[in-house]
Structure 1
C-alpha cells in the first residue's frame, strides 16, 4: 500500500492558493516541505512558505511568477497544474484535515524507513541497540506530532487534584509532605555517606508494599544478597528474628520460615535492577516504563545518582538530562521516584542545610518536587530527616529525629510506633466456624 495520499497533498496546496490563511493552519500543524511525498509538491510548498514568511500574496499567478524566476516552474508542473490544484480542493475550510492526513503519512514513511533499516541489521543488534532504536522511534513519532497535540484546553482540566501517594511510614514526615510522597513526583534524598539514607529508604519500600504498592530498587553499591538481607531484617516480625553470637559479637538473623514468608510476600511485588545491565539512562528509563506499565510498580528507588553511567557526555549536563527524564516518567505514569544524591564537599560550610548542597549539577534541586536530607552527627545512632524543599505544601525546615534500632534494622521516632509496625508479610487465618 502506498504511504501517501495524492488528493490530500493537492488539497492542501490548492487551499493555500485559494486562501493564503490556510498556510497559517498548515504551520500550526508543523507541516513541513518533507511531509509531502511528491517532489513537485515539495517545490510548490517550499515556495509558498518563503512567500508567506516574506508577507507576499499567494495565488496561482504570483507563485507561478516566483517559480519561473527560479527556473522551477516546469519542475512544479507548470501553470496548468496550479489550475488543477485549485479545482481539486473539496472544501477550503477542511484544510486542517487534509494537512493531518499528509502529516500522518509522512510519519508512517519515516517509521517504515527506520524499521526497514533496522530489520537489515537486527541479527547483529544487541539489547542496548534495540532499546536505543525504540527510543529513537518514539522520538520520531513525538517530533512529528501536530501543534494541536502540544496544548490542552484549560477548561477541560479537572480541578480534583490527586492527593496522597506513597507514605514513608513516619507520621510527622508524611503530614508535612501532604500525605506522603505524592504520585507524579520526583524526590531527591541527599546526605553524606553513613547518614542512614539506605535504611530510611528500606522502610519506605516496606511501608509501600504494606499499602499494596509494588516497588523497584536500583542500588549501585549493594549486591542482591546484601539488599535482601537488610530488607528481610527490616520487615521481619519479632518471632522470626534470631539472636546469634559469634567471635565478632552478637548479631541478628531472620529464621528460614520468616525468609520464606517474606519472599512469598514480595513475589511479583518487589523488583531489583539487573546487575547484568548497564545502569545508564536508556536502561533505567526502559526498566521504569516496563515495570510501571506491565507490573503496576508505583515506587521507584534509585540509589544513587553518582553510580549511574554518564560516559560519553559532560557529567553535569548528563545528570540534568537524566533527572529531567525521571521527572517526565513520574508525571507520565503517575508514579513516585526517589533519587539518592550525596551531599557535596561544600555542604559542611553551610550554617543551615541547603538544597544546593547536593553533589552534582545545581539544577537537580530545581527539578525535584521534594528534597530531603539525612543527617547524622556524632556517634549516637540518631538520624535527622530534614525537609529542604516541598513543592506540594511548601512546608520546609521540618526535622524528624529518627533513632536506629540495631536488631530490627529500623528507624523509630519518639512514639516507638515504627518498631511495632507489622508490614503484613505473614498470612492471616480466619477462625473456622463450628456451627
Structure 2
C-alpha cells in the first residue's frame, strides 16, 4: 500500500470507542437508575456497533413500557428473543459480558459523553464525504452544496439532546400557570399594530401566511413587522427576500424608520431635512446586527435553514423569519414531473416544518391569483396552491378597499377610504376568525400604520 493509500480518509475506520459503548450498556443493565441520565445524552444511533444499537433500543423500550421496569441481562435477553434479535447481538452470554465490562456505574454519564462525541465525529465525516461526493459529481452548484453541508454541520453542533425537551404535563404545568398569571404567552411575539395584536399572537412553531395582490403591501407588512421585532423588541430576525435586493430593502427600512419619502430615498434625491431625519435613526440601524436581510439569489428552504443555524451558531438565534415571498422560492426535492402547485405545496410544508424545528413563527408572504383583483380576497385566492391554507396556523389577507366612483353604480355610494388597507384575519387556529382590521397605508414612507395611534 502506498503512502497515498494510507492517507486516504475513505480507508480509515470511523471514530468509535467500543469500550465506552460496552460500559454504557453494562451500566444500563446493572442499574436502571442511570437510564434517564444516559438517554438524555445519547440515543440508539450514537452507537457505532449495530448490535449495541439493538441492545440499547431493547433496554429503553423495556424501561418505557413499565411503571416499575426490571432491567437486567435476563429480562433484556427475553425482550431481544421476542423480537428475534438475541442471536444477532451475540446471545445472552454477550449481555453478561457487557455487565462484566463496567468499571463503575457511577461514571455512566461520562461513558455516554464519550459515545456521543464519537458519534458527532462520525457525523462530521459523513457530512464532509457527502458534500465531497456531490462536488465531484457536480450534482448541484457550489453554493447549494456549501449551504447544505453548513446546515448539517450546524445542526449537529446545536442539536438538542433527546430529553432536553420537556413533554409531560407535569413538566409543562408550572410554565402554563406562569402564562396564565402573566395574561399572555411569554414566547409569543407582537406586531406593531395594536388592533391586530388583539386578535393574533405570533407563537413559536406557527406558519403565518400574509397574502396580497401584486403591489398590495405584503412586503411593507413583512419589513414593518421584522423591524418591530428586531429594532423595538431587540430580538434577532431573518428576512429572506426573493422579491427585493438588499439596497431596496434598506431603502424601505430607512424610509419607515426615519419617516423619509421612499421615492427620494430610492432615487438618492434626499433634501437636507431628509438627511436630518436619517441621521436621527443612524445609530439605531448601524447597531442592528441582529437584523439579518438575506437577498441571496435562488433562496431555498435548505438555505434558509442554513442561515438560521448560522445565526444560532453566532449567538443570535432567530426569533422570527419573514419569507418574501413564498411563490418565488426555488423548489428542491421535487420530481421532474412535479407541477407548480406541487412545488409550492412542498415549499409551504417546508416552511411549516422549519417553524416547528426552530420553534419560531415563520411569516410567509404570498401572492394572490390575478382573478382576486378588485374584490375582497378569500383563502382560496393564493397563487399556485391550495396547500397554503392547510399548512398555515394563521392567514391574514390584505385588501385595498375600492375608491368610490360617481360614474360606477356599484361603487359610487361606497365610503371614501382612500389611503386605507384592510387586514382580514381569514384563519386563526387559536383565536377569532373573520376580524377585519383597517390600517393606514403609507406607501410613500414604506410603512403601515394603526388607525388610532402612531406607528
Residue 252 of structure 2 is aligned to residue 230 of structure 1: yes
Distance 1:176 1:3 in 2: 56
The match for 1:35 among 47, 50, 55 is 47
Report the Cα offset of residue 325 of structure 1: 0.9
Contact 2:210 2:398 in 1 (8 A): yes
Contact 2:209 2:396 in 1 (8 A): yes
User: Between Structure 1 and Structure 2, how many residues are aligned?
Assistant: 381
Secondary structure of residue in 2 paired with 1:255:
helix
Residue 355 of structure 2 is aligned to residue 326 of structure 1: yes
Residue 219 of structure 2 is aligned to residue 198 of structure 1: yes
Distance 1:264 1:111 in 2: 42
* Aligned match of 2:242: 220
Contact 1:4 1:106 in 2 (8 A): no
The root-mean-square deviation of aligned C-alpha atoms, in Å, is: 5.3
Contact 2:238 2:294 in 1 (8 A): no
Contact 1:302 1:340 in 2 (8 A): yes
Distance 1:34 1:236 in 2: 53
Report the Cα offset of residue 186 of structure 1: 3.6
* Aligned match of 1:154: 169
Q: TM-score, normalised by structure 2?
A: 0.62
* Aligned match of 2:3: none
Distance 1:33 1:134, change over 3 A: closer
Contact 1:188 1:340 in 2 (8 A): yes
Report the Cα offset of residue 319 of structure 1: 3.0
Q: Which moved more, 1:137-146 or 1:340-349?
A: 137-146
The match for 1:397 among 405, 419, 434 is 434
Name structure 2 gaps, 5 residues minimum.
1-15, 61-72, 136-141, 335-341, 404-417
Report the Cα offset of residue 321 of structure 1: 1.9
* Aligned match of 2:68: none
Contact 2:396 2:424 in 1 (8 A): yes
Residue 276 of structure 2 is aligned to residue 257 of structure 1: yes
Distance 1:182 1:296 in 2: 16
Distance 1:296 1:268, change over 3 A: farther
Secondary structure of residue in 1 paired with 2:239:
strand
Report the Cα offset of residue 362 of structure 1: 3.8
Distance 1:33 1:346, change over 3 A: same
* Aligned match of 1:174: 197
Report the Cα offset of residue 398 of structure 1: 1.4
* Aligned match of 1:382: 420
User: How is 1:10-409 mapped onto 2 (pairs within 5 angstroms)?
Assistant: 10=26, 35=47, 37=49, 59=74, 76=90, 105-116=114-125, 128-136=144-152, 146=162, 152-157=167-172, 158=175, 159-161=177-179, 162-163=184-185, 165-177=188-200, 181-182=202-203, 185-208=206-229, 211-214=232-235, 215-237=237-259, 255-269=274-288, 271-276=291-296, 278-291=298-311, 294-295=315-316, 298-313=319-334, 315=343, 316-331=345-360, 336-344=361-369, 353-378=377-402, 380-392=418-430, 394-405=431-442, 407-409=444-446
Distance 2:311 2:158 in 1: 22
Secondary structure of residue in 2 paired with 1:217:
strand
Contact 1:319 1:360 in 2 (8 A): no
Name structure 1 gaps, 5 residues minimum.
17-21, 50-57, 422-435
Distance 2:422 2:95 in 1: 75
Distance 2:57 2:321 in 1: 48
* Aligned match of 1:428: none
Distance 1:347 1:86, change over 3 A: same
Distance 2:318 2:40 in 1: 38
Contact 1:199 1:410 in 2 (8 A): yes
Distance 1:355 1:118 in 2: 41
Report the Cα offset of residue 390 of structure 1: 2.5
Distance 1:133 1:353, change over 3 A: same
Contact 1:111 1:137 in 2 (8 A): no
The structure with the larger Rg is 1
Contact 2:24 2:112 in 1 (8 A): no
- 1:161-189 Cα offsets, whole Å, 9 max, x none, are 253754433332222225xx456644211
Secondary structure of residue in 1 paired with 2:244:
coil
Report the Cα offset of residue 289 of structure 1: 3.8
Distance 1:297 1:152 in 2: 23
Distance 1:90 1:252, change over 3 A: closer
